Amino acid sequence: MNLKIVALVSGVYDLLLAVPMLLFPVATAAIFGAPTPSPVLNAQLNGVFTLSLAAGYFWSAQDVEARRGYLWVAGPLAKLLGASLFVLDHFLRGSPASFLLFAASDGVLGLLTLALLLKRP
């Protein structure tokens, strides 16, 4: 496993989340057992954020050594903080159990990115 592969996997992962949130926000919320977003714009803005992360991952994958800074922000910061918030929201506010899948996938990608960033070539 290397940083370029993790960046590409993270980009695909975020792209697969972004498109449904942008194009089908109500249906996407329903699939994951979440309430209908109100306003729908909030879900679509989450899609824009996730699409931006995906674009950054694809950009970073082209030259991971030169773009390590982006990978620190998108991987350990955004993914691990997001995973933590999913877990906290589930246990403190009763968000759907499906959100724990996001916590697990974001957490794994964030930890992999962190480990590879800490391991200098």
pLDDT of residue 121: 63
Amino acid making up residue 46: N
User: Mean of the pLDDT values across residues 72-96?
Assistant: 95
pLDDT of residue 50: 97
Tallying the residues shown for the chain, one arrives at 121
Q: How far is CA 92 from CA 21, 25, 107, in A?
A: 24, 24, 19
28/41 Cα distance (integer angstroms): 13
User: Mean of the pLDDT values across residues 6-28?
Assistant: 97
Pick from 75, 73, 78: which is nearest to 110 by CA?
75
44/119 Cα distance (integer angstroms): 36
Q: What predicted TM-score, i.e. pTM, was given to this entire model?
A: 0.92
